[in-house]
Structure 1
Amino acid sequence: MKIYFLLIVAVICSSLQSCKKYMDMDHFFKDRMNIDTLFVRKDYADQWLANVYTHLREENLDVASKDYAPFNLISDDMFFGDRGDELDGRSYKNYKNGEYTESWIQRSWGSCYQGIRKASIYIFNIDRNREMSTEEIATGKAEARFLRAYYYWLLIRKYGPVPLVPGEGIDYTLPYEELAIPRSSYDNCVDFITSELAIAARNLPLTQTSRDRVRPTKGAALAARAKVYLYAASPEFNGNTEMAELVDHEGNQLISQVYNEEKWAKAAAAAKEVIDLNVYRLFTAPFNATDQGPAQPKTIVPPFNARYSNSSFPNGWKDIDPFESYRQLFNGALTASGNPELIFSRVAELSNVGPEALAKHQTPYSMGGWNAHGITQKQCDAYYLNDGNNIPVNPRVNGFTTNDKDHLPLPAGVSMQYANREPRFYASVAYNGSLWYRLSALDPTLRSKQIFYYRGEPDGKQPASPQFHVRTGLGVKKFVNPIDSHDGKVLGSFVVPKYEPAIRYAEVLLIFAEALNELGGSYNIPDYTGTTTHAISRSVPDMSNAISQIRIRAGLPDFDGSVYGSKEIFRKALKRERQIELLGENHRYYDLRRWKDAPLEEAMPVMGCNMDMTSAQRELFHTPVVIPSFPTIFVKKMYLWPIAHEELRRNKKLTQNPGWTTPY
């Protein structure tokens, strides 16, 4: 069938937004032209493909401000406090209490389907191009397949099963009622997405140039495929009888009611294929025993361990700096092309949206930031001690540091609860009394400051700025560079550009270990090319090899045999490792749902420091209390995001997610 601009428009219009908006797709070009003319020219075809990428931004970012990535800040690990109920109802409290409606933040639905439509048009028309080589066409088509699959992945992660639009379009002359498309089952969505990613991987390059860093590689397609399989294997979508009521317009169940262990094997095999590429590795900063100044304090040396202190990475931490190895991953110290761990990134073009926006909101109010984002006491307590043991919580460690030397890197006047923690803690957590830097300031007196959150302090709770204080007394330093200065009034102000870590190698290692752990049998899983198979079964050496790299990079010993020997104990340890390693990267919200842990974890009270206490009451300040402004609940409907009523009205075969209302 000859394909025109409108061929796929009708089905999109029936399930998305107004037809007028979606039909007006040729405004990117100077002259009105049909598909025949457009895809013959390389420059026009390249412009079309570039426009397919634009839907990866804003509402489809993973690491961004709450306006675009709210789920990154509304789980049990992070929070935001600078938006009240009076500001369009999108406060942390509203999210946590399920007080949102079917009309909230639905731009991702429409944006993803726009991207899907544009990608499909490219895929089915680029072969007619007369100015591109066969290799260029194959690569462009692979990029479009990746993007189309990735947009579907973003949709099913948020909404569950969604309609799969026919790739080659439909007859738009049919009556409106006949254009509606029902939701496909979750497994069918997964089959389509993973199949498309496998096809894309066959023609995508192993690496990209610095100029094309945002374009997907073979590894990006395979890693995304592993993520999709991981979710499909998880309890939320694998034999979940609690989701029996999620059905299509004919009453067919959309979530598998029968558990299938092989789904875990598929996730493990997909992650293994990324590992076997031998393209990626965990980033490590070299060990430096000398003090390099505020920008790079003296290395936080893990306590001596006979097995790890004398061995080089990945067998030990002798030659690496665990603190800088983690901190530099996120604060812009590395370029996207210079990070061997980065697999896929929507490299931030808008500094007020991506990681820079998070850094701005995390920076103290007295240093030009908004002082609005923080972590919960639960997240703070998740970090290990630097010897790999748990922190004491009953009772907690009492007392305070008296100088800046005995408990590095703590300065004086800091609670001993924060002493002797693992390096990822110091790279991520802005504890009360921590040092903040803005080294780009020309005035040396403004380059560093010890920040306290006691009541009455400039960055504590006070009537003059009720919104701009960290509600738990536990802030965030991840994504903040010591050079950053967010105060435009400070001469020399500069913010280091940062990129979004959408998929990185540490996540692939975590996927591999988690999936292997859930296996009881052995499986032969076809590889992405369909030419060979992977023999997959639970393997402690493979699990240890994956997890130990992450922990050793963090200056922690590998788990002992008792952890690996128990599926249940390792599962718990794995979940904690994801909670720590992936903080602020938009995983925790979805992890708790796919594990079906959200009813317990997200309903727990949010704990933190007692922000009503002054510096004269510092012991009471550091005694955890319930944060009254952060009440929490979790009800079943909060597993999946609701579909907007306007979408349900347009597509009569589209069904709502359980617990949410359907328009009359």
Structure 2
Amino acid sequence: MCEMKKIYKFCIGALLGTITVSCVDQLDSDKNFKDRMTLEDVFTNEKYSEEWLAHAYSYLKGENMDVGTKDNILWCFADDIYFGDRDIYNTFKTGTYSEGDRQSWGASYKGIRQASIFIQNIDMNMEFTEAERADLKAQARFVRAYYYWLLLRKYGPVPLLPEEGLDYTASYDDLACQRNSYDECVEYIESEMRLAAKDLPLDRGANHTSRPTRGAALAARAKVLLYAASPINNPRPEDTERFTDLVDHDGRCLLAQEYNEYKWAKAAAAARDVMELPGSNYGHRYVLHTVKKRDEAAAGYPKTLPPYSDNDFENADWPNGYRDIDPFESYRQVFNGALSMFDNPELIFSRGQNQGDRNLADMVLHQLPTSANGWNTHGMTQKMCDAYYMYNGSEFNRQTFLDTCQVENRFVSEKEGKAGTYPYLKKGVWKEYAWREPRFYASVAFNGCVWPLLNNSTLKDPKPVEQQVFYYRGNGNGYTNSNFWLRTGIGIMKFVHPDDTSAAKGNKDYVKLKTEPAIRFAEILLIYAEALNELEDGSSYDIPSWDGSASYSVKRDINEMKKGIRPVRCRAGVPDYTLPEYQDRNVFRKKLKHERQIELMGEGHRYFDLRR
């Protein structure tokens, strides 16, 4: 940073906590002079140093959340989710937004500045051991690189600030920084994440799970390299859409214009680095979360529906098959608060509960129906609903349903509902929702679905549990004259725990706390498969591991691609892809994009996947 030697203590208070002073104190210039604190004061004190780093973390909230609510992220502008509350989408459609809406530019650079000062000065703090200083510096390095990643993903190429910072007393012209190119940003972030990984531990205790680990740094690196390899910055010769007009002040194009296959190989190797981290989960640090199958039903917890007989996964127990697991509950628990961050074996990075006011519990309030005192405004699009596979792994086709099901039989009858003819479906439900894959029932609040609402029985004024909810016009949960109705007519069940309900509008006391899934292992597996698929047959690259301790031979190997796809499909309770689907690069690419759409629904990926 510039030669800034004095920092006012009231600034430190604004950054690290609140200092209360009287009016007389504020007018006492001598006292204010004495209250000045130097960087040396901060970085020779254990408590102040920790607080400085905590403030660097603090800008990861709000608009910088990976998974959030209508007020801070871009879900309304993809094709999977629609927030009806406050008509956020229409604000942008009609151009009534301001430059401050959803912008995270300023917060990100404040976080970068805070982390940079920490990195520059923490080594003077002898109250920490050498190992502790190395860990703390690596955390700050991760946070700084992660802010740059969030900026790059959202804004494209951004300025990379000097390591020593900027002299704020300089002229505007001297302070002005041109954008770096996309590849320069990626190279910097990738290098910083590798450097951070060297001093970050593989695991942290239960009290420090929101701090990054080695896996978090390497996983973020894999995400960055995937984006760098994608068409937005790596167009193939046949790609017609190129950002040739995105140039800097000197006319230099900021996004790559020439295709480079090696970028895909680097992304695959980076994902492999995460997959190869050692641990106690079948020899690896990360594994997809699974739950053993349930033989008896209970309120909010249906009996396990045996997955499709595919003569493959059905013949083996997890991790080689789905014979002994409950795919529905396995997937549902990853998001709904049933697991702490420490107990979730596939969670790689998360802000934990450090989400601010607009946390995932607040998001669930916007998903809950009106009859459960929810805001009832968080809807799923028909396109997203239709994307989920059928029970046997085939794609849903509405026309096939209409052609094969007579009009008079298209809704579940009372007899069929009582008999459980269609698992998860009760009387009056449209039968196109029958026999869908387990992730569908864990994610989609279709018209006529059952909301468990088990905490209703513990309210001061108890209400019924396991409520069947319809969204028909005029119904209490359907269209009304207020804003609190689903614009799409389809709700979202993902992130909702069976216990979740609300005692009154805006009350989160009966909603389980949720851990934000910023990066999880399923995403890394899909990155690995996607990157390998893009390599030409016959191409092969020898790429060293992140620390140089090993080397990977990276090529389009179907057996390696299966390592990325099969665990995700198996945990989901759907059959693997067919051999022809693996063999055809274009077909596999479409399947992979479809898999990401389903597996990562509601986790902040779709908006960017459609654009990269």
TM-score normalised according to structure 2 size: 0.89
Change (3 A) 1:254 1:5: farther
Q: Which residue of 2 aligns with 1:659?
A: none
The answer to which structure, 1 or 2, has the higher relative contact order (CA under 8 A, 6+ apart) is 1
Distance (whole Å) between structure 2 residues aligned to residue 131 and residue 590 of structure 1: 43
**Counterpart position of 2:449:** 434
1:358-507 correspondence to structure 2 within 5 Å: 358-397=363-402, 398=405, 399-402=410-413, 403-404=417-418, 405-441=420-456, 442=458, 445-463=463-481, 465=482, 467-488=483-504, 494-507=510-523
Paired residues for 1:571-590 under 5 Å: 571-590=589-608
Give the Cα separation in 2 of the matches to 1:499 and 1:238: 34
Say if 2:79 is the partner of 1:61.
no
Q: 1:558 aligned to 2:561? A: no
CA drift of 1:46 comes to 1.0
Distance 1:28 1:458, change over 3 A: closer
- The one-letter amino acid of 1:341's match is E
In the TM superposition, residue 107 of structure 1 has moved relative to its aligned partner by: 4.2
Partner of 2:39: 35
* d(CA) in 2 for partners of 1:116, 1:593: 26
Q: Distance in 2 between matches of 1:238 and 1:490?
A: 45
Q: CA RMSD in A?
A: 2.4
Cα distance in structure 1, aligned partners of 2:41 and 2:396: 66
Alpha-carbon distance in structure 1 between the residues aligned to 2:506 and 2:589: 48
Give the Cα separation in 2 of the matches to 1:374 and 1:350. 22
**Which stretch of the first structure deviates more once superposed, 442-451 or 178-187?**
442-451
Determine whether 1:286 maps to 2:302. Answer: no
Q: Is the 8 A contact 1:432 1:453 kept in 2?
A: yes
Amino acid in the other structure paired with 1:360: L
Return the alpha-carbon distance in structure 2 between the equivalents of residues 5 and 255 of structure 1.
Answer: 39
Deviation at 1:56, TM superposition (A): 0.9
User: Which deviations, in whole Å up to 9, do the C-alpha atoms of 1:306-333 show, x marking residues without a partner?
Assistant: 2222310122111100000011111101
> Distance in 1 between the 2:463 and 2:375 partners?
21
What is the alpha-carbon distance in structure 2 between the residues aligned to residue 460 and residue 367 of structure 1? 13
Taking the aligned partners of 1:491 and 1:52, their CA distance within structure 2 comes to 30
Residue identity in the other structure for 1:400: F
Check conservation: 1:214, 1:347, Cα contact below 8 A.
Answer: yes
| Cα 1:351/1:494, change in 2 over 3 Å | farther
For the Cα contact (< 8 Å) 2:312–2:321, is it kept in 1?
yes
Are the equivalent residues in 2 in contact too, given 1:112–1:155 (CA < 8 A)?
yes
Q: Structure 2 vs 1, CA of residues 461 and 28 (structure 1 numbering), >3 Å: closer, same or farther?
A: closer
Alignment partners' CA distance in 1, 2:182 and 2:286:
30
8 Å CA contact 2:266–2:543 kept in 1: the answer is: yes
Q: CA deviation at 1:105?
A: 2.0
Inter-CA distance 309–223: structure 2 relative to 1 (3 Å threshold): same
Match of 2:164 in 1: 168
Contact (CA 8 Å) 1:26, 1:32: kept in 2 or not? no
> Where do 1:167-186 residues align within 5 Å?
167-186=163-182
Counterpart residue number, 1:273: 273
Contact 1:6 1:23 in 2 (8 A): no
Tell me if structure 2 keeps the 8 A contact 1:400–1:416.
Answer: yes
Say which SS state the counterpart of residue 219 (structure 1) adopts. helix
CA contact (8 A) 1:6 1:172 kept: no
User: Structure 2 unaligned runs (5+)?
Assistant: 20-34, 278-283
Which residue does the alignment assign to 2:339?
Answer: 334
Q: Given that residues 372 and 502 in structure 2 are in contact (C-alpha distance below 8 angstroms), is that contact kept between their aligned partners in structure 1? A: yes
Seen in structure 2, the aligned counterparts of structure 1 residues 23 and 329 have a Cα distance that, compared at 3 Å, is closer
User: Is the CA contact 2:471–2:478 (under 8 Å) kept in the aligned structure 1?
Assistant: yes
1:56 aligned counterpart, secondary structure = coil
| Alignment CA distance shift 1:568-1:490 (3 Å) | closer
Pairing partner for 2:322 from 302, 317, 322: 317
| Superposition pairs of residues 59-138 of structure 1, within 5 angstroms | 59-69=63-73, 71-84=74-87, 91-95=88-92, 97=93, 99=95, 103-105=99-101, 107-138=103-134
The whole-number CA distance in structure 1 between the counterparts of 2:444 and 2:383 is 12
1:525 Cα offset (Å)? 2.1
Q: Aligned pair count?
A: 572
Identity, in percent, stands at 48
2:203 counterpart of 1:187: no
Q: Separation in 2 of the partners of 1:429 and 1:190?
A: 36
Q: 1:491 to 1:254 in 2, by over 3 A?
A: closer
On the 8 A contact 1:383/1:422 being kept in 2, the answer is yes
Q: Distance in 1 between matches of 2:505 and 2:353?
A: 25
1:511 to 505, 519, 527: 527
* Gap change, CA 1:247 and 1:2, over 3 Å in 2: closer
Paired letter, 1:46: E
Q: 2:349 aligns with which of 344, 349, 361?
A: 344
Task: Tell me the distance in 2 between the aligned counterparts of 1:575 and 1:377.
Answer: 18
In the TM superposition, residue 580 of structure 1 has moved relative to its aligned partner by: 0.2
- Structure 1 distance, partners of 2:187, 2:16, is 34
1:23: Cα distance to partner? 9.7
- Verify the 8 A CA contact 2:379 2:488 in the aligned structure 1: yes
Question: Distance between the aligned counterparts of 2:250 and 2:186, measured in 1?
Answer: 21
- Structure 1 residue ranges without an equivalent (≥5): 10-20, 85-90, 595-664
CA distance, structure 1, for counterparts of residue 498 and residue 57 of structure 2? 32
Residue number in structure 2 paired with 1:139? 135
- SS state of the match for residue 127, structure 1? helix
1:412 Cα offset (Å): 1.4
In structure 1, C-alpha distance between the alignment counterparts of 2:111 and 2:317, rounded to whole Å: 45
Matches of 2:434 and 2:352, distance apart in 1: 35
- Does the 8 Å contact 2:375/2:505 carry over to 1? no
Relative to structure 1, the CA distance from residue 100 to residue 559 in structure 2 (aligned partners, 3 Å threshold; closer, same or farther) is: farther
In 2, distance between residues paired with 1:300 and 1:195?
Answer: 46
Alpha-carbon contact 2:341-2:515 (below 8 Å) kept? yes
CA 1:338–1:365 in structure 2 vs 1: closer, same or farther (change >3 Å)?
A: same
* Gap change, CA 1:455 and 1:504, over 3 Å in 2: same
Range with bigger deviation, 272-281 or 529-538: 529-538
Letter of the 2:387 counterpart:
A
Instruction: Tell whether the 8 Å contact from 2:46 to 2:125 is kept in structure 1 after alignment.
Output: yes
- SS of the residue corresponding to residue 424 of structure 1 reads helix
Query: Which of these residues, 294, 299, 308, is aligned with residue 313 of structure 2?
Result: 308
In the other structure, the counterpart of 2:206 is: 210
Check whether the contact 1:512–1:546 (CA below 8 A) recurs between aligned residues.
yes
Aligned position for 1:653:
none
Provide the C-alpha distance between the structure 2 equivalents of 1:462 and 1:109, rounded to a whole number of angstroms: 38
Distance 1:492 1:61 in 2: 20
Residues 1:470 and 1:36: Cα distance change in structure 2 (over 3 Å):
same
Q: Secondary structure at the match of 2:451?
A: strand
In the TM superposition, what whole-angstrom CA distance separates every residue of 1:58-81 from its partner, at most 9, and x where no partner exists? 111122111112x12321111011
Asked if the contact 1:551/1:558 (under 8 Å) is kept, the reply is yes
Write the distance in 2 (CA, Å) between the matches of 1:318 and 1:438: 29
Superimposed CA distance per residue, residues 91-119 of structure 1 (whole angstroms, 9 cap, x where no aligned partner): 21344x48366614254101100010010
Q: Distance in 1 between matches of 2:437 and 2:162?
A: 50
Aligned-partner residue type, residue 122 of structure 1: F
SS at match of 2:252: coil
